[in-house]
Amino acid sequence: MDELNGRMIACQILITGLIARVANDQRDPLRFLTDFRDEIRAVVKGVNIAGMENTDRVRQVAQRSIDELFSLMKPPSVD
């Protein structure tokens, strides 16, 4: 389990770096980050989660992870 958690953290760091790199190449980095975050949140809201009794809990954890990931780059907007 620790190995899996370590890999997940490493993936999050990698993804954060890639997103930040792309954002820095944009004319308006903050707008890019906001739009990208909103798209990711929409995907999480619409994804089909099979085999789980409480899919709302899974979605909440995923939304928190998204907010944490993007908070490294900018504060989350109030939704």
| Residue 56 lies inside a defined structural domain of this protein | yes
| Residue 24 lies inside a defined structural domain of this protein | yes
| Residue 76 lies inside a defined structural domain of this protein | no
pLDDT at 63: 86
| Residue 79 lies inside a defined structural domain of this protein | no
| Residue 78 lies inside a defined structural domain of this protein | no
Return the CA Rg of the chain. 14
Range of the domain at 66: 2-71
Domain count, the chain: 1
Q: What pLDDT, in 10s, does the model give residues 34-76?
A: 888 888 888 888 877 777 777 888 888 888 888 887 777 655 5
Task: Specify whether the CB–CB gap between 62 and 44 falls below 8 A.
Answer: yes
| Residue 37 lies inside a defined structural domain of this protein | yes
| Residue 77 lies inside a defined structural domain of this protein | no
H-type alpha helices, the chain? 2-24, 29-46, 55-71
Task: Specify whether the CB–CB gap between 37 and 66 falls below 8 A.
Answer: yes
